[in-house]
Amino acid sequence: MPLVSLEELPCSYLEQEKYLKIKEQAYEKHSLREILESTIKNNFRNPGEVSEFENNFINVSERYLLAAKKFSWLNENSAGYWLWCYLRNESAQFFPHQVRARFHEKHIFNPFNGELLNEDAENFLPQNYDHTGLTKSPNNYSELLDSIIGFFDHWIIALVYKKKALDILKSKWSFLLKWEAENGKPFAFLDKNDKEGGEWCWEYFRKKVTVIRWGQFQPASTLERYSYLTAIFYVWDVLPEARKVFLTDINRAWSQRKFRISQNDRKAFQTYMKEDTKRKLLELSKVNGMKINEVLEAIINDAYSSSLNLSK
């Protein structure tokens, strides 16, 4: 069924082919560009008609599409990843009820004359990101930004509502950045190129925080997983105190993990020695700022190297 019909409602049936009609779902900009080019090529022969059509299309776009500069704050990658993850996880809950879509075939909005074709029809807004048909796995950051803008483009409603929604999101991000400045960057201990570490953090986070719609996020690389981790941490709608507790817990768990890994090549060894020898060992440990096991390892390694040199 059509979600949005762009029709001028011309005066005669024969003239209807001169106007753009989107009768099938077409979501991303390349598909829409193809529709536009095909419409112009197949229906217009007079340059004046082409110019009139293009001007009309531009005028309608300016009434319903946010200017690119409104998204300029997303030039910072962390902001873009956060907003994309936010839309994937929270879009149905964020937008006010009165501007959500009620999916029904008769609810077709005509942006050319700014009227609803049915009195009870509500403005079109996808219930959540998945209903838009936009990509669920952006190949790069540029495609991710296109998807964010595409999501807002699908919302056919007065610009004032779009601007208000985007301003609220921008303010929300500013608040989160302030929190980060005061409390530190989440997952600061993680190297962005650490594949195993990233997977461990992902699983720990997923098990501890179950309110996130984790199935929405399928990172395709180690770097993407790293970007998603911070973004999803801020998508998580929770009190600031809970964020602090989580960071304390995961930092402690990470330290324990590192310790276990460091001990993988070590074996317990127990022996007996005279009291005087133990006293000397403790003094060596204190003087050199080393643990007892480190002192013993150093003594044994030095003795081993010396014996090999003597045998040559």
CA–CA distance, 172 with 167 (Å, rounded to integer): 8
Tens-place pLDDT, residues 185-223: 999 999 999 999 999 999 999 999 998 989 889 898 999
| pLDDT (0 to 100) of residue 29 | 65
Q: List pLDDT tens digits, range 168-186.
A: 889 889 999 999 999 889 9
Q: What is the DSSP letter of 65?
A: S
Of 98, 100, 99, 107, the C-alpha closest to 1 is: 107
CA distances from 303 to 184, 291, 309 (A): 46, 18, 10
DSSP-based helix, strand, coil % in the chain, nearest 5: 65, 0, 35
Model confidence over 127-159: pLDDT tens digits?
Answer: 567 766 778 888 888 889 988 888 887 766 667
pLDDT at 299: 85
Helix (H) or strand (E) holding 228: helix 222-235
Q: What is the DSSP letter of 95?
A: S
Give me the pLDDT at residue 156, please: 61
Closest alpha carbon to 227 in 268, 182, 187: 187
pLDDT confidence of residue 222: 93
The low-confidence residues of the chain, meaning pLDDT below 50, are 1-25, 94-126
Residue 109's pLDDT is 37
- Residue pair 109/134 in contact by the 8 Å Cβ criterion: no
